[in-house]
């Protein structure tokens, strides 16, 4: 099978990428620069290294609505990648960043006649504490999710989709739900798994047979660029819709983790905890972290316990049809690249 080419480049355009200092945001911004775009990046803390790439930088917190709105001025398209992420924190903090920050982006797009808004969402918006095995976008939004991140991302996603083709300006919007993003330069998923395993703080939760989707970061960038292109398509237009994005190759989570550990010279995980006990432990830790106002994230929560023990893989046929999305980097290719990069890292 011949390799799948990168998405075709559109004519040079003025693009805002929020969360440009993050894993997906920086990869996306670099790809846009290579297409000849004028790229404006938004993040909180100064990043001279990103400025050196030729990216015009705006520094603002997502909770700073006027600054977020103003960052949209003069743009043709906005990729809203930034968010407050994590499994722990106050609902108010997540609300300010993820809901109010996204609304400020929507307002800025409307006020400054931005043509397109591509929003980076999460599959966790449909969390229902049950196995999700091959379901599509007809799944309803989750209710009473015991985690403020997916709760606020769902509210923000609804706002983005509702803004599609509404006057004034008739902004075109689409939301993408990439699942468990990994790949070279990953600062989150793979390093955290390795760190916890080396520290002896990783346990198989449940029967260890649950299957999950992962998504290589280059495929996530492809999906964003393809979504922008598809918003101009007369048929199968994705405007006002959300799409699951993954590699389309669900893996047995704990088998994948153990292979990852073996490849990096770390002992496999054998110790187990039942889902019921993990949820009880998570509930206790949530109580203690709240009562004692402990810093950092609890090692376990009810939400994390379910995510580690249950199936969560998705039907991506809608993205294939409407976005012309076809995962370019396979799981095997991504792992080969990851190991090659690890071998050359001092």
**Residue 202: closest CA among 280, 149, 278, 123:** 278
CB atoms within 10 A of CB 172: 23
Which candidate, 164, 14, 28, places its Cα nearest to that of 77? 14
* Rounded to 5°, angle at Cα 130 from 257 and 209: 30
Quote the tokens at residue 225. Answer: 């660029």
Whether the CB-CB separation of 219 and 176 falls below 8 Å is answered with: no
User: Can you tell me the distance from the alpha carbon of 191 to that of 196, in angstroms, rounded to the nearest whole number?
Assistant: 9
Give the other-Cβ count within 10 Å of 164's Cβ: 20
Rounded CA-CA distance 87/151 in Å is 11
3-state helix, strand, coil in the chain (%, to 5): 40, 15, 45
Catalytic-labelled residue, pool 59, 119, 149, 325: 149
User: Can 149 be counted among the known catalytic residues?
Assistant: yes
**Phi (first) and psi of residue 322, to 5 degrees:** -90, -30
End-to-end CA distance of the chain: 35
Alpha carbon separation from 29 to 58, 80, 208, 223 (Å, rounded): 14, 12, 37, 14
Q: Are 201 and 299 in contact (CB under 8 A)?
A: yes
- Comparing C-alpha atoms, which of 346, 340, 302 is closest to residue 129? 302
Task: Pick the closest to residue 78 from 126, 140, 28 (CA basis).
Answer: 28
As annotated, the active-site residues are 149
């Amino acid at each position: 099978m011949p390799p799948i080419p990168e998405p075709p480049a559109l004519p040079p355009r003025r693009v805002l990428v929020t969360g440009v200092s993050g894993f997906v945001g920086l990869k996306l911004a670099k790809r846009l620069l290579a297409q000849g775009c004028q790229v404006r990046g938004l993040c909180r803390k100064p990043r001279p290294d990103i400025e050196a790439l030729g990216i015009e930088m705006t520094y603002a917190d997502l909770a700073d609505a006027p600054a977020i709105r103003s960052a949209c001025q003069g743009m043709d398209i906005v990729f809203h990648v930034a968010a407050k992420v994590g499994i722990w924190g106050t609902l108010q903090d997540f609300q300010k960043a993820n809901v109010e920050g996204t609304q400020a982006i929507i307002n800025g797009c409307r006020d400054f006649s931005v043509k397109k808004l591509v929003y980076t969402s999460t599959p966790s918006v449909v969390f229902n504490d049950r196995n999700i095995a091959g379901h599509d976008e007809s799944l309803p939004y989750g209710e009473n999710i015991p985690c403020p991140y997916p709760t606020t991302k769902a509210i923000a996603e609804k706002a983005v989709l509702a803004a599609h083709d509404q006057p004034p300006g008739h902004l075109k919007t689409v939301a993408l739900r990439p699942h468990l993003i990994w790949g070279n330069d990953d600062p989150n998923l793979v390093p955290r798994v390795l760190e916890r395993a080396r520290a002896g703080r990783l346990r198989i939760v449940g029967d260890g047979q649950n299957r999950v989707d992962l998504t290589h970061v280059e495929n996530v960038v492809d999906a964003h660029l393809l979504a922008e292109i598809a918003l101009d398509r007369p048929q199968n237009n994705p405007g006002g819709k959300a799409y699951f994005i993954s590699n389309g190759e669900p893996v047995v989570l704990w088998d994948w983790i153990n292979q990852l550990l073996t490849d990096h010279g770390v002992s496999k995980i054998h110790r187990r905890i039942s889902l019921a006990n993990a949820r009880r432990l998570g509930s206790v830790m949530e109580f203690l972290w709240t009562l004692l106002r402990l810093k950092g994230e609890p090692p376990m929560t009810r939400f994390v316990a379910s995510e580690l023990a249950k199936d969560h893989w998705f039907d991506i046929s809608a993205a294939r049809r409407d976005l012309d999305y076809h995962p370019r980097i396979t799981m095997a290719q991504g792992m080969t690249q990851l190991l090659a990069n690890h071998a050359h890292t001092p």
